[in-house]
Amino acid sequence: MNWLSRNWTRLAMLLGSLLLTLVVLEGAARILHLGSGGFWEPDPLYGWRNIPNASGWESCYGECAVFVKINSLGLRDNETPYQPAPTEQRILLLGDSMTAGMQVPLDDTFGKVLGAHLNASLGTSDWHVINAAVNGFGTDNELLLYRFEGAKYQAQYVVVGVYLANDVYNNDRMLELSVGGNGHKPYFDLNAEGQLELHNFPTPDTDSPSVRLGTFLKRYFQLPRFLAEVLRLRHQVPEILQPLVHALSGDRGVQEQSSGQAASDLSQGDICSDTYTPEVARAWRITKALIKELETEIAAQGSQLIVVTIPASPQITPPGDGVSWYCDRPNQELSDYLAAEGIPDLDLLTTFRDYALQGGPPLYYSKDFHMNVNGHRLAGEALAAFMINQVIVDTTGDQEGRAE
């Protein structure tokens, strides 16, 4: 009896010490704002989504300290009902982490800058921008999100943020896997008639005990998101840690390439080459078909699609010879297609390059490849001007707010 009592005492002390250590580490993670991203959970419809009601600090690999709050419907935004107010003019944003903008405060994201400038320029308070972007999404995820969730917001305009550094790769299953992306997602392919076919839908195994545990931990604690970040940055994760990666990373940790690498080498997969490989050509065909399907489904809701192309940081670095900018080919490819289809398109490449030539403050973080506050402000202002001058039309057919 004494032996049993002593061992229970030792076990209680060990568990107490472990709990105290975890409390201290959790406190340190919150105070030091450790952990980047990790606000997602697996989802059978899209592959993954933001965890509803999750909150925590985004550190941009040490370059920022932003408190992020996911609302009850899984948006990185304020609480927003599906039903708009009688005079409300809605813009829905779709995109990946460049559009979600978790690296800057919510009000500094280009979507909120867009809404503020529209209201100020048009002398109203009716414009409301809803951010439905999710880290890691490709156009395929965005199409599914609009189909099953985004359309419910009844937005007059749907802005899709395209980040060519990875979106075309994300849309092709083989390229996605070849660059270390996530294969645990629905994906589209083209049949012999060139029509989109959806596969791996709904995605299986998205409600296992480990998934539920990981979602709970990341919803309420900072330390698990930091651990997920550390594990994601490892190219080879030991087998013994695979269950932990699965629980904390929502099926994205092991397969996800370091995001900085994906963005710093825009030419990976020959997307910048004058001649595309068959794989890249196929990925472009899928991407264009996805955009066309998005336009069709958005138009069926009585809404208008707008595409905004967000440059990668290497694309706006002034060339040493003053002439040869890095990688224009994918932007031209997308712009030519959108022009042929009559889809409104704002390519921010020229705007960002002109800014860079003027020697202004950086538009991107140096370690974390995402836009900083300056980049979001410039993008939001440019998009507001584009919409006012070329897109927004009143009931008489005249464009609203055009400068006289």
Tens digit of each residue's pLDDT (9 = 90 or more) over 368-396: 889 999 999 999 999 999 999 999 864 33
Going by C-alpha positions, the residue among 379, 384, 382, 393 that lies closest to residue 99 is 379
The whole-number pLDDT of residue 246 equals: 60
Is-contact 67 49, C-beta < 8 A?
no
Indicate the burial class of 188 (C-beta count within 10 angstroms; 0-12, 13-18, 19 or more).
buried
Q: Is 384 left (phi over 0), alpha (psi -120 to 50) or beta?
A: alpha
> Within 13 Å and on the Cβ side, how many CA atoms surround 223?
10
Q: Which of 258, 306, 310 is nearest to 99 (CA)?
A: 310
Residue 393 DSSP SS3: strand
- Strand 345-347 vs strand 304-309: parallel, antiparallel, or unpaired? parallel
Q: Which of 67-76, 89-98, 243-252 has the lowest mean pLDDT?
A: 243-252
What is the phi-psi region of residue 221: left when phi exceeds 0, alpha when psi lies from -120 to 50, beta otherwise? beta
Closest by Cα among 111, 200, 119 to 383 = 111
Q: Indicate whether 108 and 226 sit together in one domain.
A: yes
Looking at residue 194, its amino acid is G
Residue 239, domain member (yes or no):
yes
Q: Which pLDDT band, with edges at 50, 70 and 90, does 10 fall under?
A: confident
For residue 334, the enclosing domain spans 33-391
Whether residue 401 is contained in a domain is answered as no
Q: Indicate if 171 and 317 belong to the same structural domain.
A: yes
Q: What is the chain's Cα-based Rg? A: 22
Q: Is residue 72 part of a domain?
A: yes
Residues 87-109: what's their mean pLDDT? 97
* 127-131 and 89-94 beta bridge pairing: parallel
Q: Check whether 213 has a pLDDT greater than 50.
A: yes
Mean pLDDT of 226-253: 60
pLDDT band at 235 (very low <50, low <70, confident <90, very high): low
pLDDT at 172: 93
Residues 12 and 102 in one domain: no
> What is the C-alpha to C-alpha distance for residues 192 and 53, in angstroms, rounded to an integer?
43
Within a domain: residue 209? yes
Which residues lie below 8 Å from residue 133, measured CB to CB, with a gap of 6+?
76, 93, 94, 95, 96, 97, 98, 99, 100, 101, 161
131 and 261 in a single domain? The answer is yes
Which pLDDT value is given to residue 42? 87
Give the DSSP letter string of 123-179: T-S-EEEEE---TT--HHHHHHHHHHTGGGG--SEEEEEE-TTTHHHHTSHHHHHHT
Highest-confidence segment of 16-30, 136-150, 257-271: 136-150
Question: Within this chain, do residues 325 and 369 fall inside the same structural domain, yes or no?
Answer: yes
Amino acid at position 188, single letter? F
Question: Is 371 found in the same domain as 318?
Answer: yes
Give the pLDDT confidence score for residue 403 in this predicted structure.
34
Helix/strand number for the chain, H first, E second: 14, 11
For the chain, the average pLDDT equals 84
398 domain-assigned: no
Given this model, what pLDDT does residue 290 score? 98
Q: To which residue do tokens 């083209």 refer?
A: 190
Q: Averaged over 11-18, what is the pLDDT? A: 77
Q: Find the CATH number of the domain harbouring 70.
A: 3.40.50.1110
With tokens 């996530």, the residue in question is 182
Same domain as 277, residue 239: yes
Is residue 400 in a domain? no
- Domain co-membership, 8 together with 128: no
Q: Are residues 20 and 63 in the same domain?
A: no
Q: Mind listing the pLDDT tens digit for each residue in 133-186?
A: 999 899 999 999 999 999 999 999 999 999 999 999 999 998 888 766 666 889
CA 156 to chain centre: 21
In a domain, 154, yes or no: yes
Domain presence at residue 396:
no
Same domain membership, residue 131 and residue 19: no
Query: Is the domain of 213 the same as that of 330?
Result: yes
Same domain? For 135 and 268 the reply is yes
For the whole model, what pTM was predicted? 0.85
Sign of CA dihedral 227, 232, 234, 240: positive
Quick one: pLDDT band at residue 399, thresholds 50, 70, 90?
A: very low
Q: Please name the amino acid found at residue 272.
A: C
Tally the domains of the chain: 2
